[in-house]
Structure 1
Amino acid sequence: MEAIAGKKDIISQLKKQILSMEGFSTGSVSRQLDFGLGPVNDAFPEGVFPVGTIHEFVSPTEAHAAAANGFLSGLLSTLLGQSGICLWISVGRKLFPPALKFFGIEPHRVIFVDVKLRKDGLWVMEQALKCTALSAVVAELREVSFAESRRLQLAVENSRVTGFLHRQLPSSKHTLACVSRWQVSPLPSHSSGLPGVGFPRVLVELEKIRNGRPGSWTFEWRNSRFHALPDQRPAALPATSPSNTRSYA
């Protein structure tokens, strides 16, 4: 029995080492963070949201981009904690910084870097990901090649900084070196059965997760945290307008 237990322990340690080599952080720091994603955790290796790696978000429309930025802000509120700092890089930023307070993030803890060229945004992100003084780096870019994403992943292997690559209105979905790919869609909010009145809701689709299980979930942001809801995906997502949909940011 002791021999069997010893083999199981060795196998467990090897699995953790392999996950670490593939860009996953499953150490104590990762396990201490509760992002409030509930059922989504079952999709991750070891049941833990991967930190110290690069996540890709794909937004085919501006409405999706606004919803994704809101979902990202909810993740950042946990990742930054009480004293963390985030660098937010954009080519044509549309995020309204004071809106971050809705997610418990003081705007002065997010450093915004606005650039005109995509290559400048990539360079800034790569350098920022090497800075251990940062808790997270977000970059809103449209097109990123596999080679470029690989350089970003290599940058975090030593620093263990968490990166979010938000591709807005990309020309295509192609393979990147990121450990996950997400798409966040806005959904109508509800209050007392009335659509468009209430807390913001989104459909979160995890399209790809290395060594995990993709899936989709519906969330509502309420009382400074995520709340998982029954799947309310419509047959066809309604056209987004201020009258019937409330986005996060």
Structure 2
Amino acid sequence: MLSTPTIPDRAKIDQLNAQLREMERSRPASRETVSCGCRALDRMLPREGLLRGSLIEWLAEGAGSGAQYLALTAARQACRAGQTLVIVDSSARRGSTLYSPALSGMGLDLNRIVLVRPTDEKQALWSLEQALRCPAVGAVLGFPRQMDSYAYRRLQLAAEQSDGLGLLVRPSEVRGSPSWAELRWQVSPRPTACGWGLHVELLRCRGYLGDGKVDLTIDEQTGEIHEAYSGSLASQLAHPTLASQRA
């Protein structure tokens, strides 16, 4: 005779969920945080910055979304003390726009950048892992399209081992897939009358149940990133936190 499976009651399920959230929060408090390079993004995070030893995902919605620019800005902040930046850019990646003048124009030290050009996704993931394990590397930027839980976990452990920062720019099509990243952002282009407009949405933040959205403008002359803000009463009502800081 077949036995009837036991179904956990709601109280036990809620208890397990609470334990999982507590485990996600139990990262060492001594880990250093790194600014995103944009105050508006920093304010959206519980520790007002990116946690070293973690993976950060930027999901790009279409060409010119700005995800790559924001990731490079965070990489610059992570390497301010002279650490090396490793960029793993697959030679098969379509639309690659990485070139020296652009990186130098962002304030990145070309003498401390290692550019890796793997021929396929498997080599790219291996390169990301090896670079993340190196303690002399401040940040690693990669563009993986397909990742399973095994690959995610290996990259996460590598980042934790060296206290480096793993920055992954991926297509928005993977939004519904599981993620081991500490943070996951969605970046979309936003029409604007001047500058380069972006819309950024915080999709996931480990150990934090809040979310947030913000419109940004990148000055095409200086490269500085600002929160789009018209100064009108309607904008203040839509952004109460910003309005209170300006008061």
Question: Quick check: TM above 0.5?
Answer: yes
CA 1:17 to 1:225, structure 2 compared with 1: closer, same or farther past 3 Å?
A: farther
Residue among 191, 204, 209 paired with 1:208: 204
Q: Distance in 2 between matches of 1:76 and 1:205?
A: 19
Q: Distance in 1 between matches of 2:37 and 2:22?
A: 23
Regions of 4+ moved over 4 Å? 15-18, 169-172
2:42 corresponds to: 41
Paired AA for residue 89 in structure 2:
S
Gaps of 5+ in 2: 1-20, 231-247
Once the 2 structures are TM-superposed, how far is the Cα of residue 36 of structure 1 from its aligned partner?
4.3
Q: Secondary structure at the match of 1:46?
A: coil
Residue among 116, 122, 127 paired with 2:125: 122
Once the 2 structures are TM-superposed, how far is the Cα of residue 184 of structure 1 from its aligned partner?
1.2
Residue among 102, 107, 120 paired with 2:105: 102
1:139 corresponds to: 142
Q: Secondary structure at the match of 1:99?
A: helix
Once the 2 structures are TM-superposed, how far is the Cα of residue 62 of structure 1 from its aligned partner?
2.8
Once the 2 structures are TM-superposed, how far is the Cα of residue 82 of structure 1 from its aligned partner?
5.1
Once the 2 structures are TM-superposed, how far is the Cα of residue 88 of structure 1 from its aligned partner?
0.6
Q: Distance in 1 between matches of 2:156 and 2:168?
A: 11
Residue among 186, 190, 205 paired with 2:189: 186
Give the TM-score normalised by the residue count of structure 2. 0.72
Q: Distance in 2 between matches of 1:147 and 1:141?
A: 14
Q: Which has the larger radius of gyration?
A: 2
Map residues 1-249 of structure 1 onto 2, 5 A cutoff: 19=25, 21=27, 26-27=29-30, 29-30=32-33, 33-64=34-65, 67-81=66-80, 83-91=82-90, 92-93=92-93, 94-97=96-99, 98-168=101-171, 170=173, 173-189=176-192, 195=193, 198-212=194-208, 213-222=210-219, 223-230=222-229
After superposition, the C-alpha distances for 1:142-183 in whole angstroms (9 at most, x for unaligned) are 111122101111112221100012223646631121111111
Instruction: Tell me the number of residue pairs that the alignment of Structure 1 and Structure 2 aligns.
Output: 203
- Report % sequence identity: 24
Gaps of 5+ in 1: 1-14, 190-194, 232-249
Q: Secondary structure at the match of 1:178?
A: coil
CA 1:112 to 1:28, structure 2 compared with 1: closer, same or farther past 3 Å?
A: same
Once the 2 structures are TM-superposed, how far is the Cα of residue 108 of structure 1 from its aligned partner?
3.5
RMSD between aligned residues: 2.7
Q: Distance in 1 between matches of 2:57 and 2:41?
A: 16
Q: Is the 8 A contact 2:31 2:52 kept in 1?
A: no
Give the TM-score normalised by the residue count of structure 1. 0.71
After superposition, the C-alpha distances for 1:51-99 in whole angstroms (9 at most, x for unaligned) are 22001122242333xx111111221222211522111112235123221
Once the 2 structures are TM-superposed, how far is the Cα of residue 120 of structure 1 from its aligned partner?
0.7
CA 1:109 to 1:220, structure 2 compared with 1: closer, same or farther past 3 Å?
A: farther
